[in-house]
Amino acid sequence: MSRIGAIEAGGTKMVLAVGTEDGDILERTAFPTTDPASSIARMVEWFSGRSIDALGVGAFGPTCVNPSDASFGYVLETPKVAWRHVDFRGALAADLNVPVGYDTDVNAACLGEATYGAGKGLDCLVYVTVGTGIGAGVLVDGKLLHGMLHAEAGHIPVTRMEGDGLPSVCPYHPSCLEGLASGPSIESRWGRPAADLEGRDDVWELEAAYLAQGLATYVLCYAPRRIVLGGGVMSQLQLFPLIRAGMSSILAGYVRTPEIEDLDTYIVPSGCAGDQGILGALELGRRALRGD
């Protein structure tokens, strides 16, 4: 059985694992993300002693994920200045000398859910993370979606709910989903971290109203067979019934499929217990090894 390496490369920490092609994680470690040269050297050192046959990377963005592009695997215009224009994938592939599968962190998480989690076996799936930012990973016909860049579905415009005058936390858009419904926007609107607002119905009703708008758009544009929601904010499970009802009201009966008829199984929490990113990276590595 082949041994696959996996990296969940985040802006604040790197999670590394070695696992099997069946998704069993054999070993894992994590360390803080520092400058690119030291971070890459540390990852290479850890994997070097562990005889991996392939590697999968789910990387923080923005990063080029289109295999046909000359900058495939490069980090792009990130606020983390030292990482700009670093050939992240190329450096790992050269030093470890194994096939390297590479995608965004949120696409990797989508693949993790589709392979091992709440979307297991589905060929069309959307995974949405609601945390420090909002992002969506999209699987279509079994393949992760890549266009001219990773789709930025967290920044779709939303209609402001009545009475909500919160300045958007997105520096680009006055009323995008991330600007009005990410963890930091909840904190800025209500003056306390989202985790401390658990019993406040008004907080979660407003949050669900925005997320419902986002999900209705994803249903209409991607026609996924299911939508999985993860990220820190979604640990507030009371959001799920509110989002289902809100999305149903926005779609207004226009989309009629067996999946949409059963919203409790259509809009669901992660099934990977926090491991969707690293399991997706493992699957990216397996696919790179098998040429899938």
Site for ligand ADP, rule CB under 6 A: 131-133, 183-184, 187, 193-195, 231-233, 235-236
* Residue 99 near residue 199 (C-beta atoms within 8 A): no
Residue 149's alpha-carbon distances to 12, 78, 107, 238, 288, in angstroms, are: 23, 14, 12, 34, 20
Q: Which does 41 bind (CB under 5 to 8 A by kind): Zn ion, ligand ADP, none?
A: none
Q: How far is the CB of 68 from Zn ion (least distance, A)?
A: 27
Q: Is 173 in the site for Zn ion (CB under 5 A)?
A: yes
Q: How far is the CB of 53 from ligand ADP (least distance, A)?
A: 29
DSSP state of 17: E
For 212, residues 6+ apart whose C-beta sits below 8 A from its C-beta are 242, 243, 245, 246, 247, 249, 250
How many angstroms separate the CA atoms of 205 and 189, rounded?
A: 13
Q: Is 145 in the site for Zn ion (CB under 5 A)?
A: no
Starting at the earlier edge strand, list the strands of the sheet with 134-140.
143-144, 134-140, 125-130, 226-230, 267-269
Q: Which does 23 bind (CB under 5 to 8 A by kind): ligand ADP, Zn ion, none?
A: none
Q: Is 156 in the site for Zn ion (CB under 5 A)?
A: no
Which is closer to ligand ADP, CB of 90 or CB of 184?
A: 184
Q: How far is the CB of 270 from Zn ion (least distance, A)?
A: 24
And the tokens for 179?
């600007």
Q: How far is the CB of 13 from ligand ADP (least distance, A)?
A: 9
Q: How many residues does the chain have?
A: 292
Q: Is 52 in the site for Zn ion (CB under 5 A)?
A: no
Contact set with Zn ion (CB under 5 A): 155, 170, 172-173, 176, 178-179
